[in-house]
Amino acid sequence: MSIEVSGLNKKFGDFVALDNVDVTIPTGQLTALLGPSGGGKSTLLRIIAGLEKGDSGTVNIEGVDATNLPAQKRNVGFVFQHYAVFKHMTVAKNVAFGLEIRKRPKDEIEHRVNELLKLVHLSQFSHRLPSQLSGGQRQRMALARALAVEPKVLLLDEPFGALDAKVRKELRDWLRRLHDDVHVTTVFVTHDQEEALEVADEIVVVNEGRVEQVGTPDQLYDEPANDFVMSFLGEVT
Ligand code: ADP
Ligand code: MG
């Protein structure tokens, strides 16, 4: 099983944001969409999520043709850089939100929320408001919230971009560990070569609306598909 994107095109006016993209993202892996700013990573992620529609092409998620499904029917969870947390709700309520709107039984919600807060090491902060958390803790809350509804796919768009280097590194390790615990198919967008190379099982290099290469970090290093991939990876500091 996998996420399969075929023949995907997307224009904004005359500007070609995605140019006939074909890519297969295998189930259960941690995959990075890596590339320079403006290359089309977010557009690709948003179309996979169902937040935006392609002009043509198809998106298949785990064997289901999702091309025309609305976001809420795709069984995906999101985390964005500036995640819209509910400021007036406690950490526990934020995490419970997706379960409450689905009218799950109260005791099930409580159990699940406790389990998730434990997973992201926020149990002792369950009654705090988001404003009483650090930036890193807030993004861990966002991760727990995205996982609450047990999505088949977790999508993250530069989730740690706004945080300072030390916290970013810490969250990077978190994402890796969380993924290894939960095994949910995860796709994250980053322009940071080091982040992708250190965390991802597989990397999809996206540039100027095209997929330049798909491979493991080793494959990208050992056999870059072209000059662009070689020089872009070479920019690791
Ligand atoms: P990335 O995430 O790789 O930085 P994006 O997918 O956000 O790139 O954007 C790709 C290109 O499409 C950029 O040049 C951007 O300006 C353009 N673009 C993205 N969204 C829109 C939009 N809603 N309207 C017009 N242009 C857009
Ligand atoms: Mg982006």
**What's the 37 CA to ligand 2 centre distance in angstroms?**
7
Distance CA(99)–CA(149), nearest Å, equals 6
pLDDT tens sequence across 189-204:
999 999 999 999 999 9
- Mean pLDDT estimate for the chain: 92
3-state DSSP assignment of residue 202: strand
- Token pair 């009218």 in the structure block, residue: 103
In degrees, rounded to 5, the angle at the alpha carbon of residue 231 between the alpha carbons of residues 12 and 27 is 65
Domains of the chain: 1-75+152-237 (3.40.50.300), 84-150 (no CATH)
Q: What are phi and psi of 128, to 5 degrees?
A: -80, 165
- Token pair 């890796």 in the structure block, residue: 176
Q: Report the b/e string of 63-72 with b at 16+ CB within 10 A.
A: eeebbeeeee
Distance CA(139)–CA(62), nearest Å, equals 27
17 close to ligand 1 (CB < 6 Angstrom): yes
DSSP 8-state symbol, 88: T
Give the ligand at the shortest distance from the Cα of 38: 1
Q: What is the mean pLDDT of residues 172-189?
A: 89
In degrees, rounded to 5, the angle at the alpha carbon of residue 95 between the alpha carbons of residues 93 and 97 is 65
Q: State residue 162's pLDDT score.
A: 73
47 close to ligand 1 (CB < 6 Angstrom): no
86 close to ligand 1 (CB < 6 Angstrom): no
Ligand 1: residue of 10, 34, 42 to mutate (most ligand atoms within 8 A of CB) is 42
Give the ligand at the shortest distance from the Cα of 11: 1
- Identify the band that residue 222 occupies on the pLDDT scale cut at 50, 70 and 90: very high
Closest by Cα among 232, 235, 229 to 214? 229
Q: State residue 237's pLDDT score.
A: 53
**Res. 135: pLDDT tops 90:** no
